[in-house]
Amino acid sequence: ELKVEQNPLFLSMQEGKNYTIYCNYSTTSDRLYWYRQDPGKSLESLFVLLSNGAVKQEGRLMASLDTKARLSTLHITAAVHDLSATYFCAVVPSPLGAYKYIFGTGTRLKVLA
């Protein structure tokens, strides 16, 4: 069974702190996506990771991909309140040409002022 697991499911952190969200998946894949969802809103694309060792950074967020470990991380540096949202990772299983995204369970992040 294809599984994409995120942890933690809930994260409450103080402003200024660092933390990492983990995304583990059970199938072979070389494409992983991170999305952000604000309450009552749709999903917004954050990062597209297309190869082993890929690292992308945008502001206080940095995402990485280790396809051998089947693991992606989303690192938050010096969190601010505006980062409060739910974060989803999504995997497209290999082989190339596959199309069905498998979404993680989501991590609900709350940054406390």
Partner 1 sequence: GAGVSQSPSNKVTEKGKDVELRCDPISGHTALYWYRQSLGQGLEFLIYFQGNSAPDKSGLPSDRFSAERTGGSVSTLTIQRTQQEDSAVYLCASSPDRGQEQFFGPGTRLTVL
Residues lying near partner 1 in the complex (CB under 8 A) are found at 31, 33, 35, 41-45, 48, 88, 90, 92, 96-101, 103-106
CB closer to partner 1, 51 vs 97: 97
Q: How far is the CB of 108 from partner 1 (least distance, A)?
A: 8
**Checking phi first, is residue 67 left (phi over 0); if not, alpha (psi -120 to 50) or beta?**
alpha
Cα distance from N-terminal residue to C-terminal residue, the chain: 40
Beta strands 32-37 and 85-91: pairing type? antiparallel
CB closer to partner 1, 104 vs 109: 104
Beta bridge partners of 60: none
Q: How far is the CB of 38 from partner 1 (least distance, A)?
A: 11
Q: How far is the CB of 6 from partner 1 (least distance, A)?
A: 9
Q: How far is the CB of 102 from partner 1 (least distance, A)?
A: 8
Under DSSP, the state recorded for 81 is: G
Beta strands 107-112 and 102-103: pairing type? unpaired
CB closer to partner 1, 65 vs 90: 90
